Structure 1
Amino acid sequence: MKAIVIEQTGGSETLQYQERDKPSLQPGQVLVKVAAAPVNFIDTIIRQGNMPPGMMPALPHVSGVEGSGIIADANGSEFKDGDKVTYLGPIGAAMYADYTVVEADKLIHLDDDANLLEAGAMPVTYFTAYHMLHNVARAEQGKFALIYASTGGVGTALIQLAKAAAIKVIALDRKDEKVEQALKLGADYAFNSTKDWTEQVKQVTNGKGVNYIFNPVADDTIKQDIEVLATLGHIVIFGFLAGAGDTNTQAQVLNHFGKSPTITYSEIYATYFSNFDLVKESLASVYELLAQGKGHQYFIEFLRVPYNIIGDIFIPS
């Protein structure tokens, strides 16, 4: 079979299109013929060698932590050959290949008429978004949610899922064209985060602030988050794109102690390894929304790229 293999870290030129042996099965595993495997941020930082200490996989490495496909060998499991499935896996899931081996209890069964391209693009971003919105923040309809990086993968998912739950969305992005795109995705309001967005947020919330904030940036943005957070509001931090920053979070929170704020850090693999049933339940809800037409109409565009040229055009250096 063919696979995309990383033998050394660096730019996209390190992605090698190679012939590999089809993986063999162990008890409890099934063989999946891969139909779609998206590119995630984690795939890029692995290829660059920028993973946090202790998390970098051994090389050579086949990337791809999610995707969809068709069961090629059910191996005595509850599945049958030909079933459509999707998969959210750990580092090492090896989805950038013609075939991959998956633990049967980690697969999610899809309907026969499921679109494998859409289904395969959703597990990481949409589980991340659904989990934060409904399991972590327990967001309620009619409340305000502030979403950073609103036109990225998770941001797009958050907008869709929040609107499906009748939550009012305020989107933040760094470029005016992305602000416009966020409005097209369904955000009620959208502001440029390089400008004085805090005053704009206060205006549209009548000075009450937002109930939920979903922040993958970190750094010193916590100062602004606390400022625009409503009483009993909830900040969910799910990344550190700008680093940890110099903010003394405790001091900032104490300045707004009367709001009784909640700050949560959300990392999906903590849930993946400790409560996979919750992952399955959450993704089942996501796919039900997709079946109802509450997700796919917002997809901007899929870029279909053959494996053998992925290193040339799909993953930026």
Structure 2
Amino acid sequence: MRAVVVAEPGGPDVLRVEDVPAPEPGPGEVLVTVVAAGVNRADLMQREGHYPPPPGASETIGLEVSGHVTALGPDVDGLEVGQPCVALLAGGGYAEQVVVPAGQAVAPPPGYDLVDAAGVLEVAATVWSTLAYAHLASGETFLVHGGAGGIGSFAIQYAKALGATVIATAGSEAKLGHCRDLGADHAFSYRDDWAAQIRGVTDGRGVDVVLDNMGAKYLEAHVGLLAPDGRLVVIGFQGGRTGTIDLGALLAKRGTVAAISLRGRPLDQKADICRHVAAEVWPLLADGTIRPTPLTTYALDDVADAHRALESGDNVGKIVLKVA
């Protein structure tokens, strides 16, 4: 089968499509023939050598796919050969076939074809699990950065569906308009003093929940923006890994700072998240509460161009590799 191979850590040019041995499903696993694979920022970090897969996972990049179940390993119930699915992975997605733990393969969202569906599960699972952890409630205020990207676009809409007031940041007027179109109550450029603007629109109270993909760069500002009993949940570190927290400021707010990830969770936790997403989030996609974000597709052979596009920061919505 054909798969993307990274010969050595580096820029997009290190990505190569080569023939590799096809995987075989083991106990509790299914083999999926891939139609399309989502492209995520974690993929860029893995390509650069900064985000290795968990022990035992495929070294091939790719955290989500759509396709058809091709073979069942022993002890698999609830899935059938030929069934369309979307799957959450710890690795292996940039390939014509991938082995998936059965609990992490679910039916695609109703009304989505398999190319459109390829970029939905990872962002839905990330956002659902993060906001469930943070206990975002109706009437609270929610902040997400990169509101025009895959995670941000989904988080804006899901937080609105939960009844929150949503604040988003983005880097251009077009992207800010996109955030507002998705339902953001306030959208500010991260090139301006966004923290001061947020204090202004919240009358100085701040925000109840921050979904933070920046890490160290915004850590001090985020702690300063937390409302009483506010929760800062770090899911990425595009702005660096090491920062300093004023514990006195955090204590005064009774604030919480947490860092969670999806990729390295135990299989039972990821299967539970996938079940919740299919049961609670797919209906919101089906009835239009959460709208599809813009999709940019690339052929598998053009994977380097797909990485360049995501790295540029110019893309709106999700990038997907068409594999089949």
1:229 aligns with 2:222: no
Mapped partners of 2:24, 2:130: distance in 1: 36
Q: Per-residue deviation at 1:278? A: 2.9
Q: Report matched runs for 1:1-317 at 5 Å.
A: 1-51=1-51, 61-75=59-73, 77-78=76-77, 79-91=79-91, 94-110=92-108, 114-133=112-131, 135-247=132-244, 249=245, 252-255=246-249, 257-273=251-267, 275-284=269-278, 285-297=280-292, 299-300=293-294, 302-311=295-304, 313-316=305-308
Q: Is the 8 A contact 1:34 1:97 kept in 2?
A: yes
Residues 189 and 99 from structure 1, CA distance in 2 versus in 1: closer, same or farther, beyond 3 angstroms? same
Q: Is the 8 A contact 2:90 2:264 kept in 1?
A: no
Residues 72 and 139 from structure 1, CA distance in 2 versus in 1: closer, same or farther, beyond 3 angstroms? same
Q: Per-residue deviation at 1:139? A: 0.8
Q: Per-residue deviation at 1:192? A: 1.7
Mapped partners of 1:180, 1:213: distance in 2: 21
Residues 11 and 222 from structure 1, CA distance in 2 versus in 1: closer, same or farther, beyond 3 angstroms? closer
Letter matched to residue 314 of structure 1:
A
Higher relative contact order (CA 8 A, sep 6+): 2
SS of aligned partner of 2:99: strand
Which entry has the higher C-alpha Rg, 1 or 2? 1
Mapped partners of 1:126, 1:106: distance in 2: 13
Q: Per-residue deviation at 1:67? A: 0.9
Q: Is the 8 A contact 1:230 1:259 kept in 2?
A: yes
SS of aligned partner of 2:177: helix
Letter matched to residue 306 of structure 2:
F
TM-score normalised by the chain length of structure 2: 0.84
Deviations 1:222-253 (A, max 9, x none): 22222222111111111221113442x1xx23
Q: Is the 8 A contact 2:36 2:118 kept in 1?
A: yes
Unaligned regions of 5+ residues in structure 2, if any? 312-324
Q: Is the 8 A contact 1:83 1:112 kept in 2?
A: no
SS of aligned partner of 1:303: strand
Mapped partners of 1:25, 1:215: distance in 2: 36
183-192 or 236-245, larger mean C-alpha shift = 236-245
107-116 or 302-311, larger mean C-alpha shift = 107-116
SS of aligned partner of 1:142: coil
SS of aligned partner of 1:232: strand
Residues 215 and 27 from structure 1, CA distance in 2 versus in 1: closer, same or farther, beyond 3 angstroms? closer
Q: State the Cα RMSD in Å.
A: 2.6
Mapped partners of 2:111, 2:68: distance in 1: 12
232-241 or 178-187, larger mean C-alpha shift = 178-187
Residues 294 and 20 from structure 1, CA distance in 2 versus in 1: closer, same or farther, beyond 3 angstroms? same
Residues 101 and 142 from structure 1, CA distance in 2 versus in 1: closer, same or farther, beyond 3 angstroms? same
Deviations 1:241-268 (A, max 9, x none): 1113442x1xx23135332112221212
Unaligned regions of 5+ residues in structure 1, if any? none
SS of aligned partner of 1:62: coil
Mapped partners of 2:167, 2:283: distance in 1: 25
How many correspondences in the alignment?
306
Letter matched to residue 127 of structure 2:
A
Mapped partners of 1:229, 1:65: distance in 2: 31
Deviations 1:78-133 (A, max 9, x none): 22121111111113xx1212222223233223478542223221122221111111
Q: Is the 8 A contact 1:83 1:110 kept in 2?
A: no
Q: Per-residue deviation at 1:56? A: 8.4
SS of aligned partner of 1:305: strand
